[in-house]
Amino acid sequence: MSLLQALALMKAPDLLETVKAGRPLSEALTDPYERGIVRIGEETGRLDRAFGELHRALEERRRQRDEFRSRMMYPIVVLHAVILIPPIVMLVTSGPLAYVKAVAPALTVVYGAYAFLRRRPPWLPIVGPYARALNLARFLRALAFLWDAGVPLARAFDLAATVGIRVDYRPGATLRETLEASGRFSPMVLGAVEVGETSGDVDGTLRKAAEVLEQEARGRLDVALRLLPLAAILLLGAVTALIAIGRFSALYR
């Protein structure tokens, strides 16, 4: 089956029009990682493997998104209770408009913070290291793909940069030396790469190192998701205490 036939069966008109116009399929993709992997597949003539890698990445992304949503359900409910319940008396005393004005700023802050965190800013604790580990794993998987396809190292590093991380190739240096000079990779990854170069199984070693980094990223995300319910409970307790203090202080005036 040709690529055009496959895209027609997938009912992907934007992708189909891009290919019919004679442009690379990667140009129609918006996600940097997806675009980078497909471009690597186009360059190496291994689109089938590129699509297999995309399927693996998208399945992992879906799993993480589902886990994130399930873990966030309780903190979200508690947070909304903290915002919406305390001023509910205003519905009776001051009317719906006053109540909406009282809760709207807090809800705006909460939803704004959620949208901000979804962008995974690299300087935030937990979120930043998670994003960095995930991006490094993606780079190593792309590099393994290119190494297995026999792409020269200089070109391989240029193409691997399309998935989101650039590492400058050092002419004459080994793969380990080039990665070490970037300052991005841990001694564990560098040691694994050196073993792979010695044994002749560089692509397999790079994939295993990527799996370790992905496990590290999942571990960081799991820590954050475990802390969120605790933070929500503490916040609810703090708000309840403030309300109680306000009520008792009013009684003694």
- Name the residue with tokens 């709207």: 104
Sign of CA dihedral 40, 45, 51, 53: negative
144 located within any domain: yes
**Tokens standing for residue 215:** 């496990």
- Name the residue with tokens 């689109």: 47
2 located within any domain: no
195 located within any domain: yes
pLDDT tens string, the chain, 253 residues long: the values are 566 556 565 666 666 667 666 677 777 777 778 888 888 888 888 888 888 888 888 888 888 778 777 777 777 787 787 778 877 877 778 888 888 888 888 788 778 877 776 666 666 666 677 778 888 888 898 888 888 888 888 888 888 888 878 888 888 888 888 888 888 888 888 888 888 888 888 888 888 888 888 888 888 777 777 777 777 677 667 766 766 676 566 556 5
**Tokens standing for residue 45:** 């003539």
Instruction: State residue 192's pLDDT score.
Output: 86
Instruction: State residue 38's pLDDT score.
Output: 84
Instruction: State residue 102's pLDDT score.
Output: 80
Instruction: State residue 239's pLDDT score.
Output: 65
Q: How much is the pTM?
A: 0.68
Instruction: State residue 72's pLDDT score.
Output: 74
Instruction: State residue 33's pLDDT score.
Output: 80
**Tokens standing for residue 231:** 């933070």
Give rounded-to-5 percent helix, strand, coil for the chain. 80, 0, 20
In whole angstroms, what is the distance from residue 141 CA to residue 37 CA?
Answer: 9
173 located within any domain: yes
18 located within any domain: no
Sign of CA dihedral 5, 11, 12, 16: positive
168 located within any domain: yes
192 located within any domain: yes
Count up the domains in the chain and report the number: 1
Domain assignment of residue 149, given as a range:
129-216
Sign of CA dihedral 187, 189, 192, 197: negative
Q: Answer for the pair 144, 207: CB distance below 8 angstroms, yes or no.
A: yes
Instruction: State residue 243's pLDDT score.
Output: 60
Instruction: State residue 91's pLDDT score.
Output: 79
Instruction: State residue 19's pLDDT score.
Output: 64
Torsion of CA 48, 52, 55, 60, to 10 degrees: -160
**Tokens standing for residue 190:** 């560098």
What's 175's domain CATH number? 1.20.81
167 located within any domain: yes
Q: DSSP label at 124?
A: S
